Amino acid sequence: HFGWTSFHFDWIKNKDFVIYTVVIAGVWQASGFVMAMFLAGLRGIDGEIMKAAQIDGASPFQLYRRIVIPLLRPIFLSAFIVLAHMAIKSYDLVVALTSGGPGGSAWLPSNFMYEYTFKRNEMAVGSASAIIMLMTISAIIVPYLYSELKEKAR
């Protein structure tokens, strides 16, 4: 209610807004992990590199653009992969918050897979959706692994 007596908005029962509620909860759920990843990456940057760039006359913007961001590239890619994986398999979040939402409006691929495999006992549809999820995750991870191997080969 936000302290206003005349304002009431049902975040979970509104079929047009329920998916945004799930996204907000997912972002909140993952933000601590992602912050910890970036903090570890920032602490791993050698201070000598930063000092050398400052001595060479680099501005603060140039420090971040030319040194910090390139050194955090593996962290960005790892965070992207972890977040994409979490987004695809967010079955528990959707069920805990909305039970699928009004009219299934908050269904994700994992909810679809569970529904057809275990509740409707249609194993072929459930297996097909699992394979599609695997291909989606692979389409995200394989280019990342390729770029990492290419980077190490240099």
54-92 pLDDT, tens digit each: 999 999 999 999 999 999 988 988 898 888 878 777 888
Cβ–Cβ < 8 Å for 30, 83? yes
Interhelix angle 91-98/18-43, nearest 10 degrees = 140
**Alpha-carbon gap, residue 117 to 127, rounded angstroms:** 7
pTM equals: 0.69
CB count within 10 Å of CB 73 equals 13
Identify the pLDDT of residue 41.
Answer: 95
| pLDDT confidence of residue 7 | 63
Domains of the chain: 18-153 (1.10.3720.10)
Q: Taking a C-beta distance cutoff of 8 angstroms, is the pair 15, 101 a contact?
A: yes
For residue 2, pLDDT beyond 70: no
What mean pLDDT comes out for the span 92-114? 82
- Read off the pLDDT band of 5 (50, 70, 90): low
Pick the more confident residue, 85 or 23. Answer: 23
Average pLDDT, the chain: 86
Find, among 90, 87, 78, the residue nearest to 141 by Cα: 78
